[in-house]
Structure 1
Protein backbone atom coordinates (compact mmCIF):
# COMPACT_ATOMS: atom_id res chain seq x y z
CA UNK A 1 0.00 0.00 0.00
CA UNK A 2 1.01 3.62 -0.53
CA UNK A 3 0.54 6.08 2.35
CA UNK A 4 0.02 9.81 1.82
CA UNK A 5 0.28 12.23 4.76
CA UNK A 6 -2.35 14.99 4.40
CA UNK A 7 -2.98 18.19 6.33
CA UNK A 8 -6.75 18.56 6.34
CA UNK A 9 -6.98 21.66 8.51
CA UNK A 10 -4.41 24.33 9.31
CA UNK A 11 -5.25 25.97 12.65
CA UNK A 12 -4.01 28.62 15.08
CA UNK A 13 -2.14 30.55 12.44
CA UNK A 14 -0.24 27.53 11.14
CA UNK A 15 0.97 26.30 14.52
CA UNK A 16 -1.37 23.31 14.37
CA UNK A 17 -2.39 20.92 11.59
CA UNK A 18 -4.96 18.17 11.19
CA UNK A 19 -2.75 15.25 10.17
CA UNK A 20 -4.69 12.60 8.25
CA UNK A 21 -3.58 9.59 6.23
CA UNK A 22 -4.71 8.50 2.80
CA UNK A 23 -3.93 4.85 2.19
CA UNK A 24 -3.83 3.86 -1.45
CA UNK A 25 -4.52 0.15 -1.74
CA UNK A 26 -4.67 -1.94 -4.90
CA UNK A 27 -8.47 -1.93 -4.93
CA UNK A 28 -9.55 1.05 -2.81
CA UNK A 29 -8.65 4.15 -0.82
CA UNK A 30 -8.81 4.39 2.98
CA UNK A 31 -8.74 7.56 5.08
CA UNK A 32 -7.54 7.74 8.65
CA UNK A 33 -9.32 10.77 10.11
CA UNK A 34 -10.77 13.38 7.75
CA UNK A 35 -10.03 16.80 9.20
CA UNK A 36 -12.44 19.49 8.06
CA UNK A 37 -14.89 18.81 5.26
CA UNK A 38 -16.59 20.80 2.55
CA UNK A 39 -19.71 21.53 4.62
CA UNK A 40 -17.55 22.86 7.48
CA UNK A 41 -16.05 25.35 5.05
CA UNK A 42 -19.27 26.28 3.27
CA UNK A 43 -21.33 26.77 6.46
CA UNK A 44 -19.00 26.94 9.47
CA UNK A 45 -21.47 28.63 11.82
CA UNK A 46 -24.17 26.05 11.13
CA UNK A 47 -22.01 22.93 11.09
CA UNK A 48 -19.30 23.82 13.59
CA UNK A 49 -21.18 26.29 15.77
CA UNK A 50 -18.81 28.21 18.01
CA UNK A 51 -16.35 25.33 17.94
CA UNK A 52 -14.34 26.62 15.01
CA UNK A 53 -13.62 29.87 16.84
CA UNK A 54 -11.54 27.94 19.37
CA UNK A 55 -8.92 26.66 16.90
CA UNK A 56 -9.44 29.24 14.13
CA UNK A 57 -9.05 26.87 11.14
CA UNK A 58 -8.28 28.52 7.81
CA UNK A 59 -11.19 26.57 6.25
CA UNK A 60 -9.49 26.31 2.87
CA UNK A 61 -11.38 24.09 0.37
CA UNK A 62 -8.03 22.88 -1.02
CA UNK A 63 -7.19 21.33 2.36
CA UNK A 64 -10.19 19.01 2.44
CA UNK A 65 -9.41 15.34 1.97
CA UNK A 66 -11.80 15.29 -0.99
CA UNK A 67 -9.88 18.04 -2.83
CA UNK A 68 -6.48 16.53 -2.01
CA UNK A 69 -7.54 13.12 -3.33
CA UNK A 70 -8.58 14.78 -6.58
CA UNK A 71 -5.30 16.72 -6.70
CA UNK A 72 -3.44 13.41 -6.54
CA UNK A 73 -5.30 12.25 -9.65
CA UNK A 74 -7.33 9.77 -7.63
CA UNK A 75 -11.08 9.26 -7.46
CA UNK A 76 -12.80 10.26 -4.18
CA UNK A 77 -15.50 7.71 -4.95
CA UNK A 78 -12.85 5.01 -4.39
CA UNK A 79 -12.72 5.81 -0.66
CA UNK A 80 -14.38 2.71 0.75
CA UNK A 81 -13.44 3.10 4.42
CA UNK A 82 -12.75 5.88 6.92
CA UNK A 83 -11.06 5.00 10.20
CA UNK A 84 -11.37 7.53 13.03
CA UNK A 85 -9.16 8.07 16.04
CA UNK A 86 -12.17 9.84 17.60
CA UNK A 87 -15.14 11.99 16.63
CA UNK A 88 -13.99 15.50 17.55
CA UNK A 89 -15.13 18.05 14.97
CA UNK A 90 -11.61 18.67 13.61
CA UNK A 91 -11.21 14.95 12.89
CA UNK A 92 -14.63 13.97 11.55
CA UNK A 93 -15.65 16.94 9.39
CA UNK A 94 -15.05 15.15 6.11
CA UNK A 95 -17.39 12.23 6.78
CA UNK A 96 -20.21 13.79 4.78
CA UNK A 97 -17.93 14.12 1.73
CA UNK A 98 -17.81 10.30 1.51
CA UNK A 99 -21.33 9.23 2.52
CA UNK A 100 -20.94 5.80 0.89
CA UNK A 101 -17.86 4.86 2.97
CA UNK A 102 -17.80 2.51 5.94
CA UNK A 103 -16.83 4.51 9.04
CA UNK A 104 -14.83 2.63 11.69
CA UNK A 105 -14.93 4.07 15.20
CA UNK A 106 -14.66 2.73 18.73
CA UNK A 107 -18.05 1.83 20.16
CA UNK A 108 -17.43 3.93 23.31
CA UNK A 109 -16.65 6.95 21.16
CA UNK A 110 -19.77 6.42 19.09
CA UNK A 111 -21.97 6.27 22.20
CA UNK A 112 -20.35 9.40 23.63
CA UNK A 113 -20.93 11.32 20.40
CA UNK A 114 -24.53 10.16 20.02
CA UNK A 115 -25.38 11.14 23.61
CA UNK A 116 -23.08 14.06 24.42
CA UNK A 117 -23.13 15.87 27.73
CA UNK A 118 -22.71 19.62 28.11
CA UNK A 119 -19.02 19.66 27.20
CA UNK A 120 -19.51 16.95 24.59
CA UNK A 121 -21.84 19.17 22.58
CA UNK A 122 -18.87 21.45 21.86
CA UNK A 123 -16.52 18.74 20.61
CA UNK A 124 -19.07 16.48 18.92
CA UNK A 125 -20.95 18.13 16.05
CA UNK A 126 -23.79 15.88 14.96
CA UNK A 127 -24.25 18.05 11.88
CA UNK A 128 -21.08 16.42 10.52
CA UNK A 129 -22.70 12.98 10.43
CA UNK A 130 -26.37 13.86 9.99
CA UNK A 131 -26.25 11.97 6.68
CA UNK A 132 -26.23 8.69 8.61
CA UNK A 133 -22.83 7.07 8.03
CA UNK A 134 -22.40 3.33 7.67
CA UNK A 135 -20.93 2.96 11.16
CA UNK A 136 -18.62 0.03 11.89
CA UNK A 137 -18.22 -0.15 15.66
CA UNK A 138 -15.03 -1.64 17.07
CA UNK A 139 -14.64 -3.45 20.37
CA UNK A 140 -10.93 -2.58 20.65
CA UNK A 141 -9.81 -2.98 24.24
CA UNK A 142 -11.93 -6.10 24.76
CA UNK A 143 -9.97 -9.25 24.03
CA UNK A 144 -7.93 -8.71 20.90
CA UNK A 145 -4.19 -9.04 20.48
CA UNK A 146 -1.06 -7.55 21.96
CA UNK A 147 0.96 -5.14 19.85
CA UNK A 148 4.31 -3.87 21.11
CA UNK A 149 3.00 -4.17 24.67
CA UNK A 150 -0.44 -2.63 24.01
CA UNK A 151 -3.33 -4.98 24.83
CA UNK A 152 -6.77 -5.22 23.25
CA UNK A 153 -5.60 -4.33 19.74
CA UNK A 154 -8.02 -5.30 16.95
CA UNK A 155 -7.26 -5.65 13.26
CA UNK A 156 -10.00 -3.89 11.31
CA UNK A 157 -12.36 -6.21 9.47
CA UNK A 158 -11.71 -6.21 5.74
CA UNK A 159 -8.66 -3.95 6.12
CA UNK A 160 -5.61 -6.17 6.58
CA UNK A 161 -2.61 -4.31 7.91
CA UNK A 162 -4.71 -1.76 9.84
CA UNK A 163 -5.37 -2.13 13.54
CA UNK A 164 -7.13 -0.09 16.23
CA UNK A 165 -5.01 0.51 19.34
CA UNK A 166 -6.76 1.67 22.55
CA UNK A 167 -5.29 5.04 23.60
CA UNK A 168 -7.99 6.21 25.99
CA UNK A 169 -7.91 9.58 27.68
CA UNK A 170 -8.44 12.45 25.27
CA UNK A 171 -11.96 11.09 24.91
CA UNK A 172 -13.59 8.01 26.37
CA UNK A 173 -13.18 6.03 23.14
CA UNK A 174 -10.03 7.59 21.73
CA UNK A 175 -7.79 5.16 19.80
CA UNK A 176 -4.68 5.11 17.67
CA UNK A 177 -4.54 3.51 14.24
CA UNK A 178 -1.57 1.26 13.40
CA UNK A 179 -0.66 0.77 9.76
CA UNK A 180 1.65 -2.03 8.66
CA UNK A 181 3.88 -0.67 5.90
CA UNK A 182 7.02 -1.98 4.25
CA UNK A 183 9.82 -1.88 6.76
CA UNK A 184 7.74 -1.30 9.89
CA UNK A 185 4.65 0.35 11.33
CA UNK A 186 3.04 3.77 11.45
CA UNK A 187 0.97 4.69 14.50
CA UNK A 188 -1.41 7.61 14.12
CA UNK A 189 -1.88 8.47 17.79
CA UNK A 190 -4.65 11.01 17.23
CA UNK A 191 -4.82 13.46 20.12
CA UNK A 192 -3.08 11.23 22.66
CA UNK A 193 -0.47 13.98 22.88
CA UNK A 194 0.14 17.37 21.27
CA UNK A 195 3.83 17.52 20.41
CA UNK A 196 6.61 14.97 19.99
CA UNK A 197 8.45 16.87 22.74
CA UNK A 198 6.08 15.23 25.22
CA UNK A 199 7.54 11.83 24.33
CA UNK A 200 11.15 12.93 24.82
CA UNK A 201 12.70 10.89 27.63
CA UNK A 202 14.87 13.85 28.62
CA UNK A 203 11.78 16.01 29.28
CA UNK A 204 9.58 13.73 31.43
CA UNK A 205 7.74 16.64 33.01
CA UNK A 206 6.03 17.42 29.72
CA UNK A 207 3.98 14.24 29.98
CA UNK A 208 1.95 15.90 32.73
CA UNK A 209 1.11 18.77 30.40
CA UNK A 210 -1.06 16.43 28.38
CA UNK A 211 -3.41 16.02 31.34
CA UNK A 212 -5.09 19.31 30.39
CA UNK A 213 -5.65 18.34 26.75
CA UNK A 214 -8.96 16.57 26.50
CA UNK A 215 -12.11 15.70 28.40
CA UNK A 216 -12.20 17.46 31.81
CA UNK A 217 -13.10 14.25 33.64
CA UNK A 218 -10.23 13.66 36.13
CA UNK A 219 -10.22 9.92 35.47
CA UNK A 220 -9.72 10.55 31.77
CA UNK A 221 -7.02 13.11 32.56
CA UNK A 222 -5.13 10.42 34.49
CA UNK A 223 -5.57 8.05 31.56
CA UNK A 224 -4.12 10.68 29.23
CA UNK A 225 -0.93 10.81 31.25
CA UNK A 226 -0.64 7.01 31.36
CA UNK A 227 -1.29 6.75 27.62
CA UNK A 228 1.36 9.37 26.80
CA UNK A 229 3.85 7.58 29.08
CA UNK A 230 3.24 4.29 27.26
CA UNK A 231 3.70 5.98 23.91
CA UNK A 232 6.96 7.51 25.13
CA UNK A 233 8.12 4.02 26.13
CA UNK A 234 7.08 2.69 22.71
CA UNK A 235 9.20 5.32 20.97
CA UNK A 236 12.18 4.64 23.22
CA UNK A 237 12.03 0.85 22.95
CA UNK A 238 10.73 0.33 19.41
CA UNK A 239 11.36 3.58 17.59
CA UNK A 240 13.20 1.69 14.86
CA UNK A 241 10.07 -0.40 14.19
CA UNK A 242 7.21 2.03 14.81
CA UNK A 243 6.90 5.65 13.65
CA UNK A 244 4.59 7.39 16.12
CA UNK A 245 2.97 10.73 15.35
CA UNK A 246 -0.03 12.69 16.55
CA UNK A 247 -2.69 14.69 14.76
CA UNK A 248 -1.66 18.27 15.49
CA UNK A 249 2.15 18.39 15.53
CA UNK A 250 2.97 20.59 12.53
CA UNK A 251 6.70 19.79 12.63
CA UNK A 252 6.17 16.01 12.67
CA UNK A 253 3.66 16.33 9.86
CA UNK A 254 6.10 18.30 7.73
CA UNK A 255 8.85 15.72 8.22
CA UNK A 256 6.60 12.81 7.25
CA UNK A 257 4.88 14.59 4.35
CA UNK A 258 8.27 15.18 2.71
CA UNK A 259 8.32 11.46 1.95
CA UNK A 260 4.85 11.27 0.39
CA UNK A 261 4.80 9.09 -2.73
CA UNK A 262 4.49 10.82 -6.06
CA UNK A 263 1.25 10.15 -7.93
CA UNK A 264 1.42 6.96 -9.96
CA UNK A 265 1.27 7.26 -13.76
CA UNK A 266 -2.06 5.42 -13.70
CA UNK A 267 -3.48 8.03 -11.31
CA UNK A 268 -2.28 10.89 -13.50
CA UNK A 269 -3.92 9.37 -16.55
CA UNK A 270 -7.15 8.89 -14.65
Structure 2
Protein backbone atom coordinates (compact mmCIF):
# COMPACT_ATOMS: atom_id res chain seq x y z
CA UNK A 1 0.00 0.00 0.00
CA UNK A 2 1.00 3.62 -0.37
CA UNK A 3 2.23 4.87 2.99
CA UNK A 4 2.29 8.47 4.20
CA UNK A 5 4.42 10.55 6.51
CA UNK A 6 2.62 13.37 8.31
CA UNK A 7 4.22 16.52 9.72
CA UNK A 8 2.44 19.52 11.25
CA UNK A 9 4.21 22.87 11.41
CA UNK A 10 3.43 25.93 13.52
CA UNK A 11 3.72 28.92 11.19
CA UNK A 12 2.50 31.48 13.76
CA UNK A 13 1.27 31.67 17.36
CA UNK A 14 -1.78 33.48 18.66
CA UNK A 15 -3.02 33.96 22.20
CA UNK A 16 -6.72 33.21 22.57
CA UNK A 17 -9.20 32.73 25.40
CA UNK A 18 -9.38 29.15 26.60
CA UNK A 19 -13.14 28.96 26.01
CA UNK A 20 -12.79 30.30 22.45
CA UNK A 21 -10.99 27.05 21.68
CA UNK A 22 -12.26 24.37 24.04
CA UNK A 23 -15.76 25.52 24.90
CA UNK A 24 -17.91 27.87 26.93
CA UNK A 25 -18.86 27.93 29.76
CA UNK A 26 -16.80 24.93 30.91
CA UNK A 27 -13.54 26.77 30.16
CA UNK A 28 -14.71 30.35 30.66
CA UNK A 29 -12.76 32.75 32.87
CA UNK A 30 -9.64 30.60 32.67
CA UNK A 31 -7.42 33.05 30.83
CA UNK A 32 -5.70 32.73 27.49
CA UNK A 33 -3.56 30.01 25.94
CA UNK A 34 -0.89 29.99 23.25
CA UNK A 35 -2.62 28.94 20.05
CA UNK A 36 -0.63 27.44 17.18
CA UNK A 37 -1.54 28.23 13.59
CA UNK A 38 -0.85 25.01 11.69
CA UNK A 39 -0.16 23.65 8.26
CA UNK A 40 0.25 19.90 7.71
CA UNK A 41 2.41 18.20 5.11
CA UNK A 42 1.78 14.69 3.75
CA UNK A 43 4.52 12.85 1.88
CA UNK A 44 3.80 9.51 0.23
CA UNK A 45 6.18 6.62 -0.35
CA UNK A 46 5.35 7.12 -4.04
CA UNK A 47 6.79 10.64 -3.92
CA UNK A 48 3.57 12.66 -3.84
CA UNK A 49 3.42 15.72 -1.58
CA UNK A 50 0.16 17.20 -0.27
CA UNK A 51 -0.16 20.33 1.86
CA UNK A 52 -3.22 20.66 4.08
CA UNK A 53 -3.94 24.38 4.47
CA UNK A 54 -1.55 27.17 3.60
CA UNK A 55 -1.82 29.71 6.41
CA UNK A 56 -1.84 33.42 5.61
CA UNK A 57 0.52 35.69 3.74
CA UNK A 58 -0.26 38.57 6.06
CA UNK A 59 -3.21 38.95 8.38
CA UNK A 60 -4.66 40.68 11.40
CA UNK A 61 -6.77 38.77 13.86
CA UNK A 62 -10.40 39.54 14.69
CA UNK A 63 -9.24 40.83 18.09
CA UNK A 64 -6.63 43.12 16.61
CA UNK A 65 -3.81 41.22 18.29
CA UNK A 66 -0.77 40.28 16.29
CA UNK A 67 0.74 36.84 15.79
CA UNK A 68 4.09 35.77 17.15
CA UNK A 69 6.77 33.80 15.29
CA UNK A 70 5.14 34.17 11.88
CA UNK A 71 6.80 32.39 8.96
CA UNK A 72 5.06 32.30 5.58
CA UNK A 73 4.18 28.71 4.74
CA UNK A 74 6.16 28.44 1.50
CA UNK A 75 9.26 29.86 3.18
CA UNK A 76 8.72 27.60 6.18
CA UNK A 77 8.67 24.43 4.10
CA UNK A 78 11.85 25.48 2.32
CA UNK A 79 13.60 25.43 5.70
CA UNK A 80 12.74 21.74 5.91
CA UNK A 81 13.85 20.88 2.38
CA UNK A 82 10.51 21.07 0.57
CA UNK A 83 10.52 23.55 -2.30
CA UNK A 84 7.18 25.32 -2.91
CA UNK A 85 7.32 24.10 -6.51
CA UNK A 86 7.43 20.49 -5.29
CA UNK A 87 4.00 20.57 -3.64
CA UNK A 88 1.65 18.55 -5.85
CA UNK A 89 -1.68 19.19 -4.16
CA UNK A 90 -3.21 21.56 -1.62
CA UNK A 91 -6.28 20.74 0.45
CA UNK A 92 -7.99 23.82 1.86
CA UNK A 93 -10.07 22.69 4.82
CA UNK A 94 -12.09 25.93 4.70
CA UNK A 95 -11.77 29.55 3.63
CA UNK A 96 -10.91 31.24 6.94
CA UNK A 97 -7.90 33.53 6.68
CA UNK A 98 -5.55 31.42 8.78
CA UNK A 99 -6.08 28.35 6.59
CA UNK A 100 -6.68 29.53 3.03
CA UNK A 101 -4.18 32.26 2.27
CA UNK A 102 -0.80 32.15 0.52
CA UNK A 103 -1.72 29.21 -1.73
CA UNK A 104 -0.60 31.25 -4.75
CA UNK A 105 3.01 30.83 -3.60
CA UNK A 106 2.79 27.10 -4.40
CA UNK A 107 2.68 27.49 -8.18
CA UNK A 108 2.37 23.86 -9.28
CA UNK A 109 -0.16 22.60 -6.75
CA UNK A 110 -3.69 21.59 -7.63
CA UNK A 111 -6.14 22.96 -5.05
CA UNK A 112 -9.00 20.95 -3.50
CA UNK A 113 -11.93 22.72 -1.83
CA UNK A 114 -15.51 21.77 -1.10
CA UNK A 115 -17.83 23.43 -3.61
CA UNK A 116 -20.37 24.20 -0.87
CA UNK A 117 -17.73 26.14 1.06
CA UNK A 118 -16.96 28.28 -1.97
CA UNK A 119 -20.55 28.81 -3.13
CA UNK A 120 -21.90 29.68 0.33
CA UNK A 121 -19.19 32.21 1.09
CA UNK A 122 -19.63 33.79 -2.33
CA UNK A 123 -23.31 34.21 -1.50
CA UNK A 124 -22.43 35.92 1.80
CA UNK A 125 -19.94 38.21 0.08
CA UNK A 126 -22.52 39.10 -2.55
CA UNK A 127 -25.00 40.19 0.13
CA UNK A 128 -22.68 42.82 1.65
CA UNK A 129 -20.99 46.00 0.60
CA UNK A 130 -17.47 44.64 0.90
CA UNK A 131 -15.97 48.14 0.85
CA UNK A 132 -17.36 48.64 4.34
CA UNK A 133 -16.91 45.27 6.08
CA UNK A 134 -14.05 44.31 8.36
CA UNK A 135 -13.13 41.66 10.92
CA UNK A 136 -15.36 43.61 13.32
CA UNK A 137 -18.30 42.17 11.34
CA UNK A 138 -19.17 38.67 12.55
CA UNK A 139 -19.75 37.33 9.04
CA UNK A 140 -16.27 38.44 7.98
CA UNK A 141 -14.46 38.00 11.29
CA UNK A 142 -12.27 35.20 9.95
CA UNK A 143 -12.06 36.07 6.26
CA UNK A 144 -9.52 37.82 4.11
CA UNK A 145 -11.47 38.92 1.05
CA UNK A 146 -8.27 39.03 -1.00
CA UNK A 147 -8.06 35.24 -0.66
CA UNK A 148 -11.23 34.98 -2.75
CA UNK A 149 -9.74 37.24 -5.42
CA UNK A 150 -6.70 34.99 -5.60
CA UNK A 151 -8.90 31.90 -5.64
CA UNK A 152 -10.84 33.28 -8.60
CA UNK A 153 -7.57 33.61 -10.49
CA UNK A 154 -6.63 30.04 -9.60
CA UNK A 155 -10.04 28.85 -10.82
CA UNK A 156 -9.51 30.71 -14.07
CA UNK A 157 -6.12 29.03 -14.44
CA UNK A 158 -7.72 25.60 -14.01
CA UNK A 159 -5.92 24.89 -10.73
CA UNK A 160 -8.98 24.34 -8.50
CA UNK A 161 -10.94 21.11 -8.17
CA UNK A 162 -14.23 21.48 -6.32
CA UNK A 163 -15.31 18.49 -4.26
CA UNK A 164 -18.93 17.44 -3.84
CA UNK A 165 -18.76 15.74 -0.45
CA UNK A 166 -16.37 12.97 0.59
CA UNK A 167 -13.66 12.36 -1.99
CA UNK A 168 -10.33 10.55 -2.24
CA UNK A 169 -7.73 12.99 -3.53
CA UNK A 170 -4.78 10.57 -3.46
CA UNK A 171 -4.36 6.89 -2.55
CA UNK A 172 -5.35 6.65 1.10
CA UNK A 173 -6.09 10.38 1.48
CA UNK A 174 -9.80 11.21 1.76
CA UNK A 175 -11.45 14.58 2.30
CA UNK A 176 -14.51 14.34 4.56
CA UNK A 177 -17.18 17.02 4.20
CA UNK A 178 -18.32 18.40 7.56
CA UNK A 179 -21.23 20.43 6.27
CA UNK A 180 -22.47 23.39 8.32
CA UNK A 181 -20.07 22.85 11.20
CA UNK A 182 -17.18 25.28 11.70
CA UNK A 183 -18.09 26.88 8.36
CA UNK A 184 -20.46 26.03 5.53
CA UNK A 185 -18.32 23.43 3.81
CA UNK A 186 -15.46 22.69 6.18
CA UNK A 187 -13.66 19.42 5.58
CA UNK A 188 -11.29 17.21 7.52
CA UNK A 189 -8.79 14.78 6.03
CA UNK A 190 -8.46 11.07 6.73
CA UNK A 191 -5.07 9.52 5.96
CA UNK A 192 -4.54 5.76 5.81
CA UNK A 193 -1.02 4.83 6.87
CA UNK A 194 0.81 1.65 7.83
CA UNK A 195 0.44 2.77 11.46
CA UNK A 196 -3.31 3.30 11.32
CA UNK A 197 -5.76 5.91 10.11
CA UNK A 198 -5.09 9.54 11.02
CA UNK A 199 -7.30 12.63 11.13
CA UNK A 200 -6.11 16.11 10.20
CA UNK A 201 -9.09 18.07 11.44
CA UNK A 202 -8.62 21.57 10.10
CA UNK A 203 -11.00 23.49 12.33
CA UNK A 204 -13.59 20.73 12.49
CA UNK A 205 -12.17 20.56 16.00
CA UNK A 206 -9.82 23.10 17.55
CA UNK A 207 -8.50 20.96 20.40
CA UNK A 208 -8.25 17.42 21.71
CA UNK A 209 -10.59 18.56 24.47
CA UNK A 210 -13.37 19.30 21.96
CA UNK A 211 -13.55 15.65 20.94
CA UNK A 212 -12.69 14.18 24.34
CA UNK A 213 -15.47 16.13 26.07
CA UNK A 214 -17.77 16.22 23.02
CA UNK A 215 -17.97 19.97 23.55
CA UNK A 216 -17.88 22.46 20.65
CA UNK A 217 -15.54 25.46 20.76
CA UNK A 218 -16.71 28.92 21.72
CA UNK A 219 -16.33 30.28 18.19
CA UNK A 220 -18.10 28.62 15.31
CA UNK A 221 -20.02 29.85 12.28
CA UNK A 222 -22.05 26.70 11.81
CA UNK A 223 -24.24 24.32 13.80
CA UNK A 224 -22.76 22.86 17.03
CA UNK A 225 -24.94 19.75 16.74
CA UNK A 226 -23.37 19.02 13.38
CA UNK A 227 -19.94 19.49 14.97
CA UNK A 228 -20.74 16.83 17.57
CA UNK A 229 -21.59 14.43 14.75
CA UNK A 230 -18.20 15.07 13.15
CA UNK A 231 -16.41 14.72 16.49
CA UNK A 232 -17.79 11.20 16.71
CA UNK A 233 -16.72 10.40 13.15
CA UNK A 234 -13.21 11.70 13.76
CA UNK A 235 -12.96 9.76 17.01
CA UNK A 236 -13.90 6.55 15.20
CA UNK A 237 -10.90 7.10 12.92
CA UNK A 238 -8.36 8.54 15.37
CA UNK A 239 -9.10 6.11 18.21
CA UNK A 240 -10.79 6.55 21.56
CA UNK A 241 -7.53 7.92 22.96
CA UNK A 242 -7.28 10.36 20.02
CA UNK A 243 -3.71 9.19 19.43
CA UNK A 244 -4.05 9.74 15.67
CA UNK A 245 -5.72 13.17 15.71
CA UNK A 246 -4.30 16.52 14.60
CA UNK A 247 -6.64 19.26 15.86
CA UNK A 248 -6.71 22.69 14.29
CA UNK A 249 -5.21 24.82 17.06
CA UNK A 250 -4.00 22.88 20.08
CA UNK A 251 -0.59 23.51 21.65
CA UNK A 252 -0.99 20.06 23.21
CA UNK A 253 -0.14 18.64 19.78
CA UNK A 254 3.56 19.15 20.49
CA UNK A 255 3.35 17.11 23.69
CA UNK A 256 1.43 14.19 22.21
CA UNK A 257 3.67 13.59 19.19
CA UNK A 258 7.45 13.55 18.73
CA UNK A 259 8.30 17.21 18.24
CA UNK A 260 11.19 19.50 17.55
CA UNK A 261 12.19 22.95 16.39
CA UNK A 262 14.21 24.03 13.38
CA UNK A 263 15.12 27.60 12.45
CA UNK A 264 12.56 28.91 14.93
CA UNK A 265 9.73 26.69 13.62
CA UNK A 266 8.09 24.24 15.98
CA UNK A 267 6.82 21.03 14.37
CA UNK A 268 5.36 17.63 15.20
CA UNK A 269 6.28 14.43 13.40
CA UNK A 270 2.84 12.88 13.57
CA UNK A 271 3.59 9.75 11.55
CA UNK A 272 6.72 8.60 9.75
CA UNK A 273 6.85 6.07 6.92
CA UNK A 274 9.77 3.65 7.15
CA UNK A 275 11.13 4.86 3.81
CA UNK A 276 11.39 8.49 4.96
CA UNK A 277 14.03 10.31 6.97
CA UNK A 278 12.87 11.84 10.22
CA UNK A 279 12.82 15.64 10.35
CA UNK A 280 13.78 15.32 14.01
CA UNK A 281 17.30 14.37 12.95
CA UNK A 282 19.64 16.90 11.35
CA UNK A 283 19.53 16.31 7.62
CA UNK A 284 20.39 18.01 4.37
CA UNK A 285 17.43 19.34 2.33
CA UNK A 286 17.84 16.54 -0.19
CA UNK A 287 17.51 13.94 2.54
CA UNK A 288 14.64 15.67 4.38
CA UNK A 289 12.48 15.66 1.31
CA UNK A 290 13.40 12.15 0.23
**Alignment partner, residue 164 of structure 1:** 175
Count residues with an aligned counterpart: 233
Listed as ranges, the matches of 1:48-197 within 5 Å are 51=61, 53-54=63-64, 56-58=66-68, 60=70, 63-117=71-125, 119-131=138-150, 132-133=153-154, 134-140=159-165, 153-156=166-169, 159-168=170-179, 169-197=181-209
Q: 1:129 to 1:81 in 2, by over 3 A?
A: farther
Is residue 214 of structure 1 aligned with residue 227 of structure 2? no
**Alignment partner, residue 274 of structure 2:** none
Which region of structure 1 is more displaced relative to structure 2, 240-249 or 257-266?
257-266
Paired residue secondary structure (2:175): strand
Instruction: Decide which structure has greater strand share.
Output: 2
2: CA distance, partners of 1:58 / 1:265: 27
Deviation at 1:248, TM superposition (A): 0.3
TM-score, length of structure 2 as denominator length: 0.69
**Alignment partner, residue 263 of structure 2:** none
Deviation at 1:194, TM superposition (A): 2.3
Instruction: Decide which structure has greater helix share.
Output: 1
Deviation at 1:91, TM superposition (A): 0.5
> Is the contact between residue 8 and residue 34 of structure 1 (CA under 8 Å) also seen in structure 2?
no
Deviation at 1:115, TM superposition (A): 3.0
Higher RCO (Cα < 8 Å, 6 or more apart): 2
TM-score, length of structure 1 as denominator length: 0.74
Deviation at 1:162, TM superposition (A): 0.9
Deviations 1:197-223 (A, max 9, x none): 2222xx45xx1x43x4211x5xx2332
> Is the contact between residue 86 and residue 108 of structure 2 (CA under 8 Å) also seen in structure 1?
no
Paired residue secondary structure (1:90): coil
**RMSD between superposed Cα atoms in Å:** 2.9
Deviation at 1:174, TM superposition (A): 0.8
2: CA distance, partners of 1:55 / 1:255: 28
Deviation at 1:74, TM superposition (A): 2.4
Deviation at 1:195, TM superposition (A): 1.9
Which consecutive residues of structure 1, in runs of 5 or more, have no partner in the other structure? 141-152
Deviations 1:60-100 (A, max 9, x none): 2xx22212211112221111210011110010122122243
Deviation at 1:4, TM superposition (A): 1.8
Which consecutive residues of structure 2, in runs of 5 or more, have no partner in the other structure? 17-32, 129-137, 260-267, 270-277
> Is the contact between residue 11 and residue 69 of structure 2 (CA under 8 Å) also seen in structure 1?
no
Deviation at 1:253, TM superposition (A): 4.0
1: CA distance, partners of 2:233 / 2:193: 22
1: CA distance, partners of 2:15 / 2:87: 29
